[in-house]
Amino acid sequence: MVFCWKCGTEVREDASFCQKCGTPIKPTATLEGKTGFEFLTSEKTAQDHWARRGIAYVIDSVLVGVAVFILVLATVLPPVVLGGGLPFGWGLWFGGIFPLMVLLIPAYFILAEALYAKTLGKHIMGLRVVRRDGKRMDLETSFLRNISKIHPILLILDLAAGLGMRGEVTQKFSDRYAGTVVEVSSQSRIIS
Ligand SMILES: [Zn+2]
C-alpha cells in the first residue's frame, strides 16, 4: 500500500500522482499505511527523528530568548551602571519586548529556514528542511511551515494533525501543506 504524503489518501502502487489532490507521488511515498503516531510508538528511527526536532526547537527558542534578554540588558545596563538610573521609557520597553517574543520566535524560524534551510538548533541536531519539489527553500514555504509556532496550541495541533495522517512519519500538517520535509543528515542516533 502506498499513501499520498500530502493528503494521506491511499493511491495505487504504480501511481505517479495522487488521484485526490494531484500531488506527484514518486519517488518519495513508499511507506506502509501507518499513521505517524503508530510509527512513533514502534520505530526507533521515527523516535530519533522527533527527539531531534524537539531538542532543536528548545535550542532555538532558548536562543531567541537569550538574544532578547541580552538586547534588553545592553540597553538598560549601561545607564544604570554609569549612575544615570533607568533610562527614559524603560517600562514601555520591558513591557513591549517580552510579548514581542511571540512574534520573534516564529520570525526567527521563518527567516533562518528561508535563508539557510535550517535554524541553528536544526544545524546542531543534524537536521535540514527540504522541499518535495526539489526547489530551494523560500520565504513563502518557510512561512507556511513555521507560522503555527506563533502559539504553542497551534503547534501542537499542527503536530497532532500531521502525525495522525498516513503515508509520512516526519511531517507536521504544515509540512504537508508547504510541501516540505525535515531530513536527518547525521548518521548517528540519539535514540537507538
Ligand atoms: Zn494526495
* Residue 167 region by backbone torsions, left for phi larger than 0, else alpha for psi between -120 and 50, else beta: left
pLDDT digits (tens, 9 = 90+) for 147-173: 999 999 999 999 999 999 887 788 999
Q: Quick check: helix, strand or coil at residue 2?
A: strand
CA–centroid distance, 167 to ligand 1, in Å, is 10
DSSP 134: S
* pLDDT, tens digit, 9 for 90 and up, residues 68-108: 889 888 888 887 888 777 777 777 777 777 778 888 999 99
Rounded distance from Cα 3 to ligand 1 centre (Å): 8
CA of 79 to the centre of ligand 1 (A): 59
Which three cell numbers, joined as nine digits, stand for 92? Answer: 514601555
Q: How far apart are the first and last CA of the chain?
A: 27
| Neighbouring residues of 33: CB distance < 8 A, sequence distance ≥ 6 | 1, 3, 10, 166, 167
* pLDDT score for 112: 98
What is the CA(24)–ligand 1 centre distance, in A?
Answer: 8
* Per-residue model confidence (pLDDT) at position 30: 46
- With beta carbons less than 8 A apart as the criterion, state whether 3 and 167 touch: yes
pTM of the predicted model as reported, rounded to 2 decimal places: 0.81
Q: How far is the CA of 19 from the centre of ligand 1 (A)?
A: 7
- Whole-number Å distance, alpha carbon 35 to ligand 1 midpoint, is 15
Q: Which residue has the cell 491511499?
A: 10
Confidence at residue 125, expressed as pLDDT on a 0 to 100 scale = 96
